[in-house]
Amino acid sequence: MDKNDRRIAFPTNDRINVEEHFGHAKEFAFADVKDGKVISTDYVTPPAHEPGVIPAFVGAQKATAIITGGMGGMAVNLFKQQNIEVILGAKGTIEETLKTYLEGELASTGSACDHDHQH
């Protein structure tokens, strides 16, 4: 991929809004961006949520960034090990969130989950 080409992952349950907890998403939207413009969006069903599975799945989809509401510290580290940018604290529609991100205006709030998920 060219440095101007990006593939941005968004967890979603309705193909419209960003799911605030990535591990509970029914699907992931993968937006392919070339020269700052969205050229396509794919929707892919993730494997069952287990520790470490979703970061590997998103990496296998060749994502360069994941934008979500929150996730645990272990998941953040697993994404970063694959050179996938992690943006936390996102909510609202995928379309608006992606637009804000591409304008360079979306900052991660760093809201990593620290509650127990009974894993």
Question: What domains can you pick out in the chain, each with its CATH number?
Answer: 5-102 (3.30.420.130)
Supply the pLDDT for residue 24: 85
Tokens of 37: 């413009």
* Predicted pLDDT at 77: 96
**Any bridge partners for residue 40, and if so which?**
32
Q: What is the pLDDT of residues 58-91, one digit of tens each?
A: 999 999 999 999 888 999 999 999 999 999 999 9
Question: What's the pLDDT score for residue 116?
Answer: 43
Separation between Cα atoms, residue 66 and residue 110, nearest integer Å: 13
What is the pLDDT, as a whole number, of residue 20? 85
Kindly give the confidence (pLDDT) of every residue in the chain, 119 residues in length, as a single tens digit, with 9 standing for 90 and above.
566 799 999 999 999 999 988 888 999 999 999 998 999 999 999 999 888 999 999 999 999 999 999 888 999 999 999 999 999 999 999 999 999 999 999 888 865 554 444 33
**Between 73-81 and 53-60, two packed helices, what is the crossing angle to 10 degrees?**
30
Global confidence as pTM = 0.89
**95: helix, strand or coil:** helix
CA 56, 58, 60: angle at the middle one, nearest 5?
65
